[in-house]
Amino acid sequence: MPKVKIPTPLRQYASGNAEVEVGGDTAGETLGNLTEEYPELKQHLYTGDGKLRSFVNVYKGDEDIRYLDGPDTEVSADDELSIIPSIAGGSAEARCR
């Protein structure tokens, strides 16, 4: 089964796991199965209409799935998916200094 790496801010919604093995033949299917196993993750990964949130990046190895086949990117038992939330921050005041 593919492994999915869970980032620190989302681990509380995945029973504290840093990495889980989840079945699936594609990245989308694997993430769907992940959110079935850990339902609290769904709202943090997907919009209300079922699309991956724009600030959530998913990598298969070192490749962003958006530049592969998106959710249709094939995965195998040896693959590792990493969920990487985009980080933005700092105040406008701090950036203007």
94 has a pLDDT exceeding 60: no
* Residue 86: per-residue pLDDT: 83
Classify the phi-psi angles of 59: left when phi > 0, otherwise alpha if psi is within -120 to 50, otherwise beta.
beta
pLDDT band at 85, cuts 50/70/90? confident
The tens digit of pLDDT for each residue in 10-48 reads: 999 999 999 999 999 999 999 999 999 999 999 999 999
* Tokens describing residue 95: 């950036």
- Report the alpha-carbon distance of residue 82 to residue 62 in Å, rounded: 9
Contact 45, 56 (CB under 8 A): yes
Q: Where are the domains of the chain?
A: 3-95
Which residue shows structure tokens 């406008």?
92
Going from the C-alpha of 88 to that of each of 20, 55, 58, 80, 92, the distances in angstroms are: 26, 9, 17, 25, 12
83-93 mean pLDDT:
68
> Which class would CATH give 3-95?
alpha beta
